[in-house]
Amino acid sequence: MRISFLLHNTYGIGGTIRTTFNLAQALAERHDVELVSVFRHRDEPLMGRPDGVAIRTLVDLRRSSPDYAGDLPDHRRPARVFPRHDGRYRQYSRLTDDRIGAYLRSATADVVVGTRPGLNVHLARQTRRGPVRIAQEHLTLDGHGYRLSRELGFRYPLLDAVTTVTEADAHAYRTRLKLPGVRIEAVPNSVPEPAVAPADGRGKVVVAAGRLTRVKRYDLLVEAFAKVVAARPDWYLRIYGSGDRTGNERDALTALIADRHLTGHVFLMGNAHPMEPEWVKGSIAAVTSSKESFGMTIVEAMRCALPVVATDCPHGPGEIIEDGVDGRLVPVGDADAVAHALLELIEDDDLRRRTGAAARAASARFDPARIAARHEAIFTELVEQARTGSPRGPARDLARRCRGTAYGSAYALRHLAAAVLRRGSATAVRWLRWRRRR
């Protein structure tokens, strides 16, 4: 198969980029895989190039490049196709609309996968017969807000499938958006086996990693660690990651660390890539988020043989950690519970090593080869259905007959077309009858 992933920027850093690279590289062992980056702002991807995967750029923002597009008039005109309520909207423009549209119209891939809501809307609006179109959800439906969720409910019926990273989010898509004929599957993110030896459980360090943002609740972790230090002053906490350009969260955490007299025990380490050598310097990982779309750092730590103490927040930790076996789940926002769980593992060397070994064994289910096989099965089935399914002509014919009737609104015609394309004309008839009763 020819598989194409459409990303915001393959040259940056982040969980979506990392997991897409892992998946693309695993799929490239058997398929022709391409990454299409809307933006490019540096010469080489910050997270490295996946082996055997081609990378294409649509809008080059390197001033030294002969293809620099930052001075083009359309780059300064607001986007019309990319949805206004996607968090990246201000970075998109009439230029990105045109170039994404041109790429999708000319795509020769068997499968095109979008990796954020705004790009998935672009996929849905390309209604010509062509590649199988799949929306990957790397965040959560609950986190999108009412207006973006409403637009997804309007656009997504013309896609072939939506994949989420948790079962909880897949359930939200099935029950709240009710997309006619669209396959909805939960497939977790993948994390490769570390290139370093696993942690031995002897380092007296708790490790946390992720962007310095409020949702990660590092303030809660610092408060909890103050209680840990009161009982075990020989242990230390290292927090890896950077915040936004304002640095407000880092400044607030620095002040909190000083206020709790933890300057010699809690360290803000900045970014580290790769992260594996830092994980194995510790013996326990901590995640205190108020919400997570998945929990990549949980799996990364487990793959390095670290037990993870995590808040049982929506959506990912509870689907990754088996409480009391390969980690600990604690209530959201409870610093005492976090401290108690950390101290349980700190005080019992055998429990810590045994739980770490169980974490490493359990995390093998997130190996890229296993996750790629699940995606491959979905892609293969959908491509076969596209080859043997109903043509798009009947959808256009039926829509033409409905034009000017009570069923002729753009909303109605899109759902009608989706019914014909995905489920056949019998479903379309039932849908028309339902509209008449409405």
- The pTM assigned to this predicted structure is 0.84
The 10s digit of each residue's pLDDT in 62-81 is: 999 999 999 999 999 999 99
Q: Is pLDDT at 290 greater than 90 in this prediction?
A: yes
Per residue in 308-327, pLDDT (tens digit) is 999 999 989 999 999 999 99
Question: Of 60-69, 210-219, 241-250, where does mean pLDDT reach its minimum?
Answer: 241-250
Distance between CA atoms of 282 and 207, rounded to whole angstroms?
Answer: 6
Q: Decide if pLDDT at 276 tops 90.
A: yes
Q: Which of 42-51, 90-99, 340-349, 422-431 has the lowest mean pLDDT?
A: 422-431
More confident residue, 330 or 248: 330
Q: Residue range 27-47: average pLDDT?
A: 96
pLDDT at 185 over 50: yes
Report the distance separating Cα 132 and Cα 159, nearest Å: 8
Predicted confidence band of residue 181 (pLDDT cuts 50, 70, 90): confident
Q: Which residue has the higher pLDDT, 162 or 180?
A: 162
The CATH classification number of 205-361 equals 3.40.50.2000
Relative orientation angle of helices 349-362 and 335-347, to the nearest 10 degrees: 100
CATH architecture of 2-190+370-388: 3-Layer(aba) Sandwich (3.40)
pLDDT by residue (tens digit) across 379-425?
999 999 888 764 333 343 444 445 444 444 554 555 555 555 444 44
Average pLDDT of the chain? Answer: 89
Alpha-carbon dihedral of residues 389, 392, 398, 400, nearest 10 degrees?
180
Q: Is the pLDDT of residue 366 over 70?
A: yes
> According to CATH, where is 3.40.50.2000 located in the chain?
2-190+370-388, 205-361
